[in-house]
Amino acid sequence: MAKSRTKTHNQETKSKKRKVSFIEQENDEDSTVYDAEVEKETTPASPAHAPKRARQSTGDLDTSKPSAIFKPKRGRQWTLSIALPGSFIANTKAIDQKNELAGRIARAAAVFCVDEVIIFDDAPDKIPPQLAHMQGKGKNAKSKAQILSELAEDQEPWDNPDQFLYHILTYLETPGHLRRVLFQGHHPNLKGVGKLPTLDMPHHMRQDEWLQYREGAAFAPPERNRRKSGGAEPEETLIDCGFKYPVKVPCAIPAGSRVTLKFADAEAPKGWPHLTEVQTAELEVEPTSPTAPREEAGYYWGFSVRKADSLSAVYQEAPFADGYDCTIGTSERGVPLSSIMPGAPSLPEKSESTGEFDKLPDKFNHLLLVFGGVTGLETAVASDPILSKKGLRKENAHEAFDLWVNLVPGQGSRTIRTEEAVWLGLMGTREYVNSMS
């Protein structure tokens, strides 16, 4: 599925509810939008009483409506990424449990404005016992990747957790009006996904909400139009971007492709949001990069999702020319997260397992937080064929990262679950990440 993916004129959230289509059910929820900076809607108060719109008839503050509004500051080039193994989902026995875990990861990524989620295999050379019969022998022996590619769709939630998590995260990140176009059919992975909470990110816009940027999906022109063009490739493409009528872009885009649109004017057009079909077709709009809303205007525009065959592939296949300039590995054997923050007092002695740096740098370009699965991040390092060739084992796994931290020193439970660690890690680094703005 192709996906070509910024200052808003109308920043007020609408009190009117909207419906988002899911494969199995429709959720009808109010809108809440998160950003690096959250501001409350307020109305100038009179000396005598508090704003009427913020209070119910009883005089109590009305918190029934969401008031967190996205406030972009300026364009940003830096990014925040997280990496985790899909194996943490494999331990669950019911599809609803698997969906819930995936939903928690998606919510964390949305709330903390994560730009990229990487799902890696923490046991790349280990074929699950239930799939051993598919391996073959001798010349007919198959790799793990080959075996997983041959699985039936209904086996993925149970035997290919990386693909399952990738599928769910990609689905939840996609705006609701595009899901029926980009996720056609009833894939077993998406069974029950309609029960998950919405992410409600800035690019999950309502039909009557205007921004200069918007997500859309290309669709094929009617058959009669193709006949008129003599079967030649059209010079324009119709895009469903959530309006009542489609918009046109002056280039050919394959049907079913997701595309980020940029309108010529940041101001809402005359007649908005009640545009006629002709007015909609006359809007000046062009496809742009998926990163343009962030880089040009500072909008948080959701997260990309990619899979990696191993932990080392997380680094090798980074979408950035210079890779990640700051990586943080998480383990109960690391140093306290608070101790690596800029300005924090230095530890009395540098631990042998602190990682490459003593402190987080004052600035970063691409920050990566890496979380382990059920058996920990040390196992992922030791199981990686490339890292093991470099002499990395469980005992020195910290050498694979710039920093090696403990998210909850003195934890009361024996273990911190992966889905908990993601929230803890993003919350613990939130102030530091925000300082980049």
Structure confidence at residue 231 as a pLDDT band (50, 70, 90): low
Mean per-residue pLDDT, 176-187: 88
Reported as a single tens digit per residue, the pLDDT across 408-420 is 999 999 999 999 9
Instruction: Dig out the tokens for 231 from the structure.
Output: 């079967």
In this structure, is residue 206 part of a structural domain? no
CATH number at residue 402: 3.40.1280.10
Percent of residues, the chain, with pLDDT higher than 90: 65
Bigger pLDDT: 351 vs 132:
132
Asked whether residue 188 falls in the same domain as residue 247, the answer is no
Question: Which residues, 6+ apart, have CB-to-CB distance to 3 below 8 Å?
Answer: 257, 258, 259, 290
For residue 223, the model assigns a pLDDT of 56
For residue 216, the model assigns a pLDDT of 96
In this structure, is residue 42 part of a structural domain? yes
In this structure, is residue 308 part of a structural domain? no
In this structure, is residue 6 part of a structural domain? no
As to burial, measured by CB atoms within 10 angstroms (0-12 exposed, 13-18 middle, 19+ buried), residue 303 is buried
Asked whether residue 278 falls in the same domain as residue 170, the answer is no
Asked whether residue 142 falls in the same domain as residue 220, the answer is no
Return d(Cα 238, Cα 224) in angstroms, integer. Answer: 14
Asked whether residue 348 falls in the same domain as residue 403, the answer is yes
Asked whether residue 72 falls in the same domain as residue 190, the answer is yes
For residue 117, the model assigns a pLDDT of 99
Return d(Cα 134, Cα 124) in angstroms, integer. Answer: 16
In this structure, is residue 202 part of a structural domain? no
Return d(Cα 205, Cα 177) in angstroms, integer. Answer: 9
Mean per-residue pLDDT, 277-284: 94
Asked if residue 199 lies in contact with residue 29, where contact means CB atoms within 8 angstroms, the answer is: no
In this structure, is residue 432 part of a structural domain? no
Asked whether residue 32 falls in the same domain as residue 176, the answer is yes
Domain range for 236 is: 213-297
For residue 139, the model assigns a pLDDT of 80
In this structure, is residue 310 part of a structural domain? no
Asked whether residue 281 falls in the same domain as residue 394, the answer is no
Reported as a single tens digit per residue, the pLDDT across 297-348 is 999 999 999 999 999 999 999 999 999 999 999 999 999 999 999 887 766 5
Residue 390 reports pLDDT greater than 90: yes
Asked if residue 166 lies in contact with residue 305, where contact means CB atoms within 8 angstroms, the answer is: yes
Asked if residue 174 lies in contact with residue 193, where contact means CB atoms within 8 angstroms, the answer is: no
**For 321, which DSSP code?**
T
Most confident of 53-57, 89-93, 109-113: 109-113
